[in-house]
C-alpha cells in the first residue's frame, strides 16, 4: 500500500509518479489496504473538501503481517523488506489558512489509528482509533514538536470520537 495515495497527487504526472517510489510504500494485507485504510483515506479527502488542511504521518511497525498467501509473513523481497504487523496514521486537522502553527489549539482535532496488518481486519477504521501518544510509544517517534508546548498534550492524549 501507499503512504501517500496516488489519487491524492494527480495535479501533475511527476507528482503522481513520485507516489510509486518504494519509499512511499509498505507491504499491506489486501483487506487492510482496500478496507479500513482506504476508507480512512477517503475520509481524509472529505475533510480537505470541507475546507481543512491535513498533516498526515503514516507508516508500519513491528514485523509479521498476514496476507492472501496465508500465515504470517515477516519479510519479502528476499528478506530486504520487512512486513509490518501494524499500520498506523496520525492526522492533524486544521482549517485552511496561513500561519499553520498559530491555528493549532488544544481543541484541534487529531486522528490516530493503529490497524493490524491482517486479512481478518475489521472493515471500519474508527475501530482502530487510539491517542497519538500510543502511536508514539509504538514507533518511537515524537509528533507535533513545533506545536506550542502548552497545546501539545491535548493533541496527544485524547482519542478522536468525531
Residues designated as active site: 2
DSSP string for residues in 46-106: HHHHTTEEEEEEEEEESS-EE-TT-SEE-EETTTTEE--SEEEEEEEEEES-S-GGGG--T
Distance CA 13, CA 22 (A): 17
Amino acid at each position: 500500500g501507499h503512504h501517500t495515495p496516488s489519487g491524492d497527487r494527480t495535479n501533475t504526472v511527476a507528482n503522481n509518479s513520485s507516489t510509486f517510489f518504494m519509499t512511499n510504500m509498505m507491504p499491506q494485507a489486501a483487506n487492510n489496504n482496500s478496507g479500513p485504510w482506504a476508507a480512512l483515506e477517503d475520509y481524509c479527502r472529505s475533510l480537505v473538501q470541507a475546507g481543512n488542511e491535513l498533516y498526515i504521518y503514516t507508516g508500519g511497525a513491528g514485523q509479521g503481517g498476514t496476507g492472501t498467501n496465508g500465515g504470517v509473513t515477516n519479510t519479502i523481497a528476499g528478506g530486504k523488506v520487512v512486513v509490518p504487523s501494524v499500520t498506523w496514521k496520525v492526522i492533524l486537522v486544521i482549517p485552511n489558512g496561513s500561519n499553520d502553527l498559530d491555528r493549532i489549539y488544544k481543541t484541534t482535532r487529531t486522528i490516530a489509528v493503529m490497524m493490524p496488518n491482517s486479512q481478518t481486519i475489521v472493515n471500519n477504521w474508527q475501530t482502530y482509533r487510539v491517542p497519538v501518544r500510543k502511536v508514539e510509544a509504538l514507533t518511537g517517534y515524537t509528533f507535533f514538536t513545533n506545536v506550542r508546548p502548552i497545546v501539545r498534550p491535548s493533541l496527544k492524549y485524547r482519542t478522536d470520537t468525531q
